[in-house]
Amino acid sequence: MILGLTGAIGCGKSTACAFFHGKGWLLFDADRACHELYGDPDSPFARALRREWGESCFSPEGLIDRKALAARVFDSEKELEKLTSLLYPALFERMGKEIDSARKEEKNMLCEVPLLFECGCEKYFDLTASVWSTAALRHERLRKYRNFTPEEIARREAKQWSAERKLEAADIAFVNNGGPDFLCRQIDRFIKEYVQK
């Protein structure tokens, strides 16, 4: 089983990933893969950035300057689309290789992709799942555990589909309003019903 996992910020995707991993599933973290792509100044992605914007998005040491890049795309939908058109192919290539490896080894894999539906990568997965929580609970977690301000929460949520829209688009729903044990029981049931047949 190759399962794509998404959910709005603060829904509990990391808790779900930890539980799947504890069950022996391989994990692919799209956010971590993006950080690795940004950290490699010699990658095809970095070369594509140079072709598009020159040295303006690189530090004097030749590293990708994420702050400069963010400033360039923050208020421009056109520039953001340009960036994603360079980033997503590199990300999908890496994810595709890991999925191919998991299939060859006949291993279950969970791919955590926060913008799964927004970037249109559903085709890579056997099923998609979304973790959902109420807005009040999500915002409470983000303030408590990540020190996000209400403004920061609103800014990040504006860049994604709503928690409800992600839930409607997914094949499987995990509701995370009742604590980690409640979420893990749902995942356990999913594995028994869909995977261990």
**Which regions in the chain score pLDDT beneath 50?**
none
Q: Determine the pLDDT at residue 196.
A: 77
88's tokens: 């997503």
Residues whose CB falls within 8 Å of the CB of residue 114, separated by 6 or more in sequence, listed in order: 6, 7, 9, 13, 30, 31, 160
- Residue 94 has a pLDDT of 94
Total-model pTM = 0.90
Give the other-Cβ count within 10 Å of 127's Cβ: 16
Dist CA 70 CA 75 (whole Å): 9
Q: Which residue has the tokens 């109420």?
A: 134
Instruction: Give the pLDDT of residue 197.
Output: 61
- Structural domains for the chain: 1-25+109-197 (3.40.50.300), 36-107 (no CATH)
Q: Which pLDDT belongs to residue 135?
A: 95
Cα gap 121→44, rounded to integer Å: 20
**Tens of pLDDT, residues 52-106:** 998 989 999 999 998 888 888 877 889 888 999 999 999 999 999 999 999 999 9
Query: Rounded CA gap, 12 and 67, in Å?
Result: 27
